[in-house]
A = this chain, B = another copy of it.
């Protein structure tokens, strides 16, 4: 009967220490969201496949985990369909639900279904797992958390500004050194317009992005190889060689895009956002980066990406403005802007830099150690007062050997031990031992509470 259990590949258990670390990250982020007036929502793990399919491209459709219909799922399947052995077609007959792939599509669905109840601008955040049937590899999981914050129903650039303030505040609190890269889809559209290559914008940004690695000559060669005429490449030179402060870059782009209305609009949007961010004293480095083009087809205005400066890892936060999130569900004209914090990567960064405050990872602060039932009874009375003061505390639940009890305290990283013996009970005190220093003091429970910083 017994089997050696395992978990599905690409999934993880989170043990107490991992949960403590993750909770520290999530609680830090949530507290900042709260300060900025964002409210939490949650959506179901399963969505109808009709909601999910076709929203993430063909590749995305394949990566959706599909849930078998309950009961006799074959009852509606015709014999011929079964015999054709076409998995893709058969899915539609035997599965109508899937696990959510991201938080964006469920959010769009939520907004459309609740349009009459919500007041706009709607500022929501959502922290939940998503599932993708990707090939698992280092740092890539089949179940992972997303942490999205969005404002929908407002065109104001002040939303972009506040999202940058949020990034600044979150990473300041997490003590992670980051750089925010910013771009604007309208600038990219303007560039393509100005050089007459509207359909080549992806090739162009990919090539420009390689400047540092391969040099100007090779970038130009790559552009030519993608079919971009010499004249257009010539016009691109100031963009490829773009350098200097954000202000200098904006000035250069303004000149290049002089003939493009949409391009200039993009420039002004970036300028406005940067000016406000400066006035508000955002400390994080902000860099205008024209090679930033994440989800090009999706974003319509600002594009953001956040990189950790002290760790070699991809983007740890990213997002931008989109103009028709809910259109696919029949609700047009809702503009939104949002960013997503990459919980797993932030976790990796904090692990590598060891940035967890010790007290965040500590659960129990004091454990009582006893060697008899009367002592145990006495300890449980003491515990009442300690816990009432808000101090997490416990007692080893049976009078086991000293070594066993101390080993338990040690493995759980409990910093204080209260040893209870005859003397302690007689004097109505506890022997409080500081595990780091080895110091021991015979003190009253009230004194112990004070020493441990208990409140109330």
Contact = CB atoms under 8 A, between A and B. Distances in A.
B19 A41 contact: yes
Category for how many chain A residues contact B:
35 or more
Given A5-B51, A8-B97, A330-B4, A394 B42 contact: no
A351 interface: no
Interface stretch (A116-124, A190-198, A439-447): A116-124
A278 to B, nearest CB: 12
Contact of A329 (B5, B42, B46, B327): B5
B74 A65 contact: no
A3 B329 contact: yes
A45 interface: yes
Interface in A119-135: 119-121, 123-124, 129, 131, 133
A45 to B, nearest CB: 6
A70 interface: yes
Nearest to A329: B5
A235 interface: no
Interface stretch (A249-257, A299-307, A384-392, A426-434): A384-392
A270 B124 CA distance: 49
A330 B3 contact: yes
Contacts of A112: 5
Given A67-B68, A87-B72, A95-B68, A35 B393 contact: yes
Interface of A: 1-8, 11-16, 19-20, 23, 34-48, 50-51, 62-63, 65-68, 70-75, 77, 79, 82-83, 85, 87, 90-91, 94-97, 99, 109-110, 112-114, 117, 119-121, 123-124, 129, 131, 133, 142-143, 151, 154-156, 158-159, 161-162, 276, 279-281, 327-330, 363-364, 367, 376-377, 380-381, 384, 387, 390-398, 407-408, 411-412
19 contacts: A1-B328, A2-B328, A5-B50, A7-B51, A11-B44, A14-B42, A16-B124, A37-B412, A45-B45, A46-B65, A77-B85, A83-B83, A120-B408, A154-B397, A155-B398, A158-B397, A159-B397, A161-B380, A276-B377
